[in-house]
Amino acid sequence: MFSLKGKTAIITGANTGLGQAMCVALSKAGANIVGVARREMDDTEKLVKQNGTEFYPVIADLGTTEPIERIIKDAVNRFGRIDILVNNAGIIRREDAIDYSENDWDDVVNINLKTLYFLSQAAAKQFVKQKSGGKIINIASMLSYQGGIRVPAYTASKHAVMGATKAMANEWAKYNINVNAIAPGYMATNNTEQLRNDTKRYNEILERIPAGRWGEPSDIGGTVVFLASSAADYIHGFTIAVDGGWLSR
């Protein structure tokens, strides 16, 4: 039920952190991986190949929608089909809301929302063409539920990711396409480095996490495998929090 043997998964932001961890988890379940990132993914490729599956790197800047057609085409050319898309790539810019710049707003929303949507659309078209359904997994956030501090564009984009997940699920379920999302809690990744270096904020966050620790990228692995597998065939439009209990506090 949880096997992904013979499946092909595209994961964006595959070079480090959550993206790398999800590549490893999906490959352990049997999937071949198409990793997408702005820079080389040698470490991710090595970890995936240790699991006995294949890794195909696609270098692309997702700050615009321009690479989308190439990503899908290259994946299909390499593996013959795609079965899973994980929209993980994202950025965060921190600034007081009253001083937040239009440039920062556009950069964050373009990567976190616009490219996510149109890459999902392109994958869905390929799934329909293949007539075999597929899985789309979007990476949301605790700030899909909350307002946050000094991250207005990130918060807006992650609220929208949850909404777009529901909207896509409503229309594409009839094609046997499952669209769901994962909302990671506070994870030790590049995106949170600045926050973790702020001792006061780090401890404030830690005190609220029932699990008593920040998450590690590997903590998301089981959930992404579940949503990518046939075990989740009747789950549509839902966002699963992997947060150490943060939202329940």
Q: Which residues are catalytic?
A: 154
Tokens read off for 125: 């078209």
Specify which residues 177 forms β-bridges with.
134
Are residues 23 and 33 in contact, defined by beta-carbon separation less than 8 angstroms? Answer: yes
Is the CA virtual torsion 46, 140, 119, 122 positive or negative?
positive
Q: Which two tokens stand for residue 93?
A: 């810019």
Contact criterion met (CB below 8 Å) for 214 and 188: yes
Q: Does residue 132 contact residue 82 with C-beta atoms inside 8 Å? A: no
Q: CA angle, corner 17, sides to 238 and 81, nearest 5?
A: 60
Tell me how crowded residue 71 is: count the other CB atoms within 10 A of its CB. Answer: 21
Cβ atoms within 10 Å of 92's Cβ, excluding its own: 23
Phi, psi of 35 (to 5 degrees): -95, 135
